[in-house]
C-alpha cells in the first residue's frame, strides 16, 4: 500500500483550531458527550432535516439482507442500524461500534423502545483500531462520523481490514457544495445561524460551531475517493446529495 502524502493531516485540526494530534479525540468526545441526547436535533439543524432522506437512500444502497453482516461505525444512536434492521429483517446481524459510551447508551435505549432485543451488538471501539478480527463483515458503514475521526486514513485502512473479500465500504458524510452561489448561501446559513440555534435550543454554541467548522476541514469528494482507493478499495465512487451538502462514498474490497 503506497504511503499517503500528509497522511491523517486532519488529526491536527479541531474545527479551525490547531491542536496536538493526541488531543483531538478527547475534544471530539467532549462534543458528543454534550450532544448525544440531541443527536437527531443536531443533524436536523445541520441539514435542515434532509438527513433523514439521505440516510434512507444510503441504506437502500446497502441492499440490506439477513445474509450480510453489518458493522456500523460511529453509529452509536442507531440511525443507520435501525433502518438496516427494518429492511433486512429480524435475522439481520448488526454490530454498532462507537467510541462514545453516551452515544451507545442512547442507541441501546432506542433499540429497546423499538422492540429490537436480538440481532444487535453494541461495542465501544475506536474507528482507528477496531476490536474485530480480519475479514469479519460483509458491510461497513460510517454515517456523519468520519470527519470526527482524527486519523481518517487509519480508519479507512481498518475498514478494509475487517471487511471480507467482496465486502463493501459505505460512508455518508457532509461534503463540499459544488455550486458557488449555493455554497455562499449555505456558508451563511451554517456559520451565522447553526451556532446561534445550537445555543438557543441546546445551550451549546461551541459544539455546534465545531461541527460547522469540521465540515469545511473534511476532504472534498474527489480527495476522499482517492484516499479510499489508497486504503486498498476498488470500484470507488461517490454520489452527491443536495448539491454536495452531503455525499455517499463507496468501495469494494476485492
Domains: count for the chain:
1
Please write the tens of the pLDDT for every residue from 43-84.
Answer: 777 677 899 999 999 999 999 999 999 999 999 889 999 999
In a domain, residue 3? The reply is no
Q: Give yes or no for a contact between 233 and 217, defined as CB atoms under 8 angstroms apart.
A: no
In a domain, residue 2? The reply is no
In a domain, residue 77? The reply is yes
- Sign of the torsion formed by the C-alpha atoms of 146, 74, 170 and 180: negative
Residue 219, classed as helix, strand or coil, is coil
Residues in CB range of 103: below 8 A, 6 or more apart: 32, 36, 39, 76, 77
Please write the tens of the pLDDT for every residue from 196-225.
Answer: 888 887 777 888 888 888 889 899 999 999
Q: Give yes or no for a contact between 45 and 208, defined as CB atoms under 8 angstroms apart.
A: yes
pLDDT for the residue numbered 26 = 77
DSSP-derived pairing of the beta strands 137-143 and 120-124: unpaired
- The cell numbers describing 81, all together, are 442500524
Give the CATH number for residue 227.
3.40.50.150
In a domain, residue 1? The reply is no
Please write the tens of the pLDDT for every residue from 93-111.
Answer: 999 999 989 889 999 999 9
Cα separation, 208 vs 210, in Å, equals 5
In a domain, residue 16? The reply is yes
Residue 99 belongs to domain spanning:
9-252
Amino acid at each position: 500500500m503506497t504511503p499517503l502524502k500528509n497522511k491523517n493531516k486532519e488529526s491536527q485540526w479541531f474545527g479551525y483550531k490547531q491542536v496536538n494530534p493526541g488531543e483531538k479525540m478527547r475534544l471530539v468526545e467532549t462534543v458528543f458527550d454534550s450532544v448525544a441526547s440531541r443527536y437527531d436535533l443536531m443533524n436536523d439543524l445541520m441539514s435542515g432535516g434532509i438527513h433523514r432522506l439521505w440516510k434512507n437512500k444510503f441504506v437502500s444502497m446497502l441492499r440490506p439482507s439477513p445474509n450480510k453482516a453489518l458493522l456500523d461505525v460511529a453509529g452509536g444512536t442507531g440511525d443507520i442500524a435501525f433502518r438496516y434492521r427494518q429492511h433486512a429483517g429480524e435475522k439481520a446481524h448488526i454490530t454498532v461500534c462507537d467510541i462514545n459510551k453516551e452515544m451507545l447508551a442512547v442507541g441501546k435505549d432506542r433499540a429497546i423502545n423499538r422492540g429490537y432485543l436480538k440481532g444487535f451488538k453494541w461495542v465501544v471501539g475506536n474507528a482507528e483500531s477496531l476490536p474485530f478480527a480480519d475479514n469479519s463483515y460483509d458491510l461497513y458503514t460510517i454515517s456523519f462520523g468520519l470527519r470526527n475521526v482524527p486519523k481518517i486514513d487509519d480508519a479507512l485502512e481498518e475498514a478494509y481490514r475487517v471487511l471480507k473479500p467482496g465486502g463493501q465500504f459505505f460512508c455518508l458524510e457532509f461534503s463540499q457544495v459544488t455550486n458557488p452561489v449555493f455554497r455562499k448561501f449555505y456558508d451563511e446559513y451554517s456559520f451565522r445561524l447553526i451556532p446561534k440555534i445550537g445555543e438557543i435550543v441546546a445551550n451549546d454554541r461551541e459544539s455546534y460551531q465545531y461541527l460547522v467548522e469540521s465540515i469545511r476541514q473534511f476532504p472534498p469528494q474527489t480527495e476522499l475517493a482517492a484516499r479510499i482507493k489508497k486504503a486498498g478499495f476498488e470500484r470507488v465512487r461517490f454520489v452527491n446529495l443536495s448539491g454536495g451538502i452531503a455525499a455517499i462514498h463507496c468501495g469494494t474490497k476485492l
